[in-house]
Chain A
Amino acid sequence: GAGVSQSPSNKVTEKGKDVELRCDPISGHTALYWYRQSLGQGLEFLIYFQGNSAPDKSGLPSDRFSAERTGGSVSTLTIQRTQQEDSAVYLCASSLEGWEGYEQYFGPGTRLTVT
């Protein structure tokens, strides 16, 4: 079946511009996660959604970062006034909810380059 999809796959933007990154989770997965991966920081948790609500926003690095999820499905991560340190690969994952643990299935990522 279809996996997690993300768009765009690559995004180059100028410093100071806003960007939106999109994630389509696996159908039926109630939980959705955003991470970013960079050389210096490894894999960092950003935010987690259960349905449309985000009980844990602790990983968002600054108030320039926000995310929303609508209809319990698609999620958008928005970065305002981008900075060069925002350059990274942004990964989205989704999972079922259940006692078997929250095995997360990852999308291909969006590579963001801020010039």
Chain B
Amino acid sequence: ELKVEQNPLFLSMQEGKNYTIYCNYSTTSDRLYWYRQDPGKSLESLFVLLSNGAVKQEGRLMASLDTKARLSTLHITAAVHDLSATYFCAVEPYGGSQGNLIFGKGTKLSVKP
């Protein structure tokens, strides 16, 4: 059974600090996605990582993928309150139905002044 594990599940951090969210998965895959969800809202696509070593950055967020280690990271630099949300990683299993994403449980991030 494919498992996608995120940690931490809850993260409280101060503005200006850096932190990393980890996403481990248990099957072969070279496609990983990061989404953001604000309370009561739907999911917003942040990053699409399609190969080993892929790195993408947008503002204070940077995502990377290591397919050999089956690990993706979402790094937050100098956090601001607006980044408070729940972040999900999702894996598309190799050889599985296209687009059948398996989601992690999400990391609820709270950035405090």
* Residues of A that sit less than 8 Å from B by CB: 31, 33, 42-43, 45, 48, 50, 55-56, 58-59, 91, 93, 95, 97, 100-109
Whether B42 and A103, one on each chain, are in contact in the complex, defined by CB atoms closer than 8 angstroms, is: no
Contact of A103 among B45, B105, B106 (CB under 8 A): B45
Q: Flag whether B33 is at the interface (Cβ < 8 A).
A: yes
Whether B43 and A101, one on each chain, are in contact in the complex, defined by CB atoms closer than 8 angstroms, is: no
Whether B92 and A43, one on each chain, are in contact in the complex, defined by CB atoms closer than 8 angstroms, is: no
Q: Flag whether B113 is at the interface (Cβ < 8 A).
A: no
12 contacts between A and B (CB under 8 A): A42-B105, A55-B97, A56-B97, A101-B31, A102-B92, A103-B48, A104-B33, A104-B101, A105-B45, A106-B42, A107-B42, A109-B42
Chain B's closest residue to A105 (CB) is: B45
Contact of B43 among A42, A45, A91, A102 (CB under 8 A): A91
Q: How many of chain B's residues touch chain A, expressed as a range? A: 20 to 34
**Contact status of A102 and B99, CB under 8 A, knowing A42-B105, A42-B106:** yes
Known: A97-B98, A106-B44. 9 other contacts (CB 8 A): A50-B98, A59-B100, A91-B42, A91-B43, A101-B31, A101-B48, A104-B33, A106-B45, A107-B42
Whether B42 and A48, one on each chain, are in contact in the complex, defined by CB atoms closer than 8 angstroms, is: no
Min distance, Cβ A52 to any Cβ of chain B, angstroms: 16
When chains A and B are docked, how far (Å) is the Cα of A59 from the Cα of B98? 14
When chains A and B are docked, how far (Å) is the Cα of A44 from the Cα of B100? 10
Whether B99 and A95, one on each chain, are in contact in the complex, defined by CB atoms closer than 8 angstroms, is: yes
**Contact status of A100 and B48, CB under 8 A, knowing A55-B97, A109-B42:** yes
Q: List the B side residues contacting A33 at CB < 8 Å.
A: 99, 101
Min distance, Cβ A31 to any Cβ of chain B, angstroms: 6
Q: List the B side residues contacting A56 at CB < 8 Å.
A: 97, 100
When chains A and B are docked, how far (Å) is the Cα of A93 from the Cα of B41? 14
Q: List the A side residues contacting B31 at CB < 8 Å.
A: 101-102
Min distance, Cβ B39 to any Cβ of chain A, angstroms: 12
Q: List the A side residues contacting B90 at CB < 8 Å.
A: 43
